[in-house]
Amino acid sequence: MSEPVLRVENLTIDIPMSQGTLHAVRGIDFELKRGETLCIVGESGSGKSLTSLAIMGLLSKKMRCNAARLDFSGIDLRKQSPRAMRALRGDRMAMIFQEPMTSLNPAYTIGDQLMEALQLHRPVGRAEARARAIELLGKVGITAAESRLSQYPHQLSGGLRQRVMIAMALMCEPELIIADEPTTALDVTIQAQILRLLADLQREMNMAMILVTHDLGVVARIADKVVVMYAGEVVEKGSVREIFETPRHPYTRGLLRCIPVPGKTKPGEHLGSIPGIVPSLIGEVEGCAFRSRCDVAEAACASNVPARRTGGDHMYRCIHEVQPGAPS
């Protein structure tokens, strides 16, 4: 395939706090090509959202973001002025947020907000922007698109608002779309619809998509590549097949044990869980951050942990070469 749309190497995000520096994201690499879907999985506070904000250049000024490489379609994002970043955002890279209930401005109609997204970046007139808004509302499955344009956000349900947010992100046909837990605030039946919609649109428009989530069911359904994050670090990454069929890192395997499998999980059987809590990331973190909760931890885990590759793109960070008890 062609040149990757996004290439991230050794991304770190530090947040200065009164108790010391919080190393929220510690050395992330991945790359993403056109038409691919990358899922970032991890629990709350593992740095998934910060990573996506960093790519968009939306981190607050207090946070320090460093990367060996942060290229978007051949543009070095680290060197862009705020003005250049503004021109990229919304035009070539777009983002869908978690909370559809508050992501739309209550003071404007849906139509105004959709048209603004286009008119900020393209020299188009109102009529043209309006036509595009109607076209996209139809694409995201909203019926009676024309009459929806004059409605205010509070007149729409959560699912509809999230569809509007998706339409807004797609107004300028971005090359990269980042969806930060787009279905968390929606109920389950709507979640499935929205995900299918995102996957369809992504294929149709040949975009690269980053989907931040903590729902492994979602990952299994739409991801091409998976990045599993724990405590600000990539503990395992690979293709969706590699992650689900031959998970190497004990954290990934722990996560997979937590979801029921139809036909395999018997009624009444306890699902797996991972004991303990995520360690504090304030101050220097040495060794494997997962060792306090890991059932195969050893003394050596406290020192440097190698990044191992098992051929191809599958990478995991653990001192054990082949996991004891791992399915092979």
User: Which residues does 201 contact at the CB level (< 8 Å), separation at least 6?
Assistant: 139, 140, 166, 170, 207
**Comparing C-alpha atoms, which of 255, 284, 292 is closest to residue 26?**
284
- Find the shortest distance in angstroms from Cβ 19 to another protein: 19
Least distance (Å) between residue 240 CB and another protein: 27
| Burial class, 164, CB count within 10 angstroms (exposed 0-12 / middle 13-18 / buried 19+) | buried
Backbone φ and ψ of 297, nearest 5°: -70, 150
CB-based contacts of 59, cutoff 8 Å, min separation 6: 13, 50, 53, 65
Mind giving me the DSSP string for 243-278?
HHHS--SHHHHHHHHTS--TTTSPTTPPPP---S-P
**How far, in Å, CA of 72 to CA of 178, rounded?**
13
Q: Which is nearer to another protein, 161 or 253 (CB)?
A: 161
SS3 call for 180: strand
| Contact between residue 186 and residue 194 where contact means Cβ atoms under 8 Å apart | yes
Q: Between β-strands 64-66 and 75-76, what pairing exists: parallel, antiparallel or unpaired? A: unpaired
The answer to whether the Cα torsion of 222, 228, 229, 230 is positive or negative is: positive
Tokens 């002025």 belong to which residue?
A: 81
Strands (E) in 86-207, as ranges, are: 93-96, 176-180
The span from the CA of 281 to the CA of 290, in Å, is 12
Closest CA to 321 of 261, 267, 248, 269: 248
Which residues in this chain contact another protein in the complex, by CB under 8 A? 56, 58, 86-91, 94-95, 97-99, 102-108, 116-117, 120-121, 150-152, 154-155, 165, 168-169, 171
90 vs 141, which CB is nearer to another protein? 90
Place of tokens 């983002």: 95
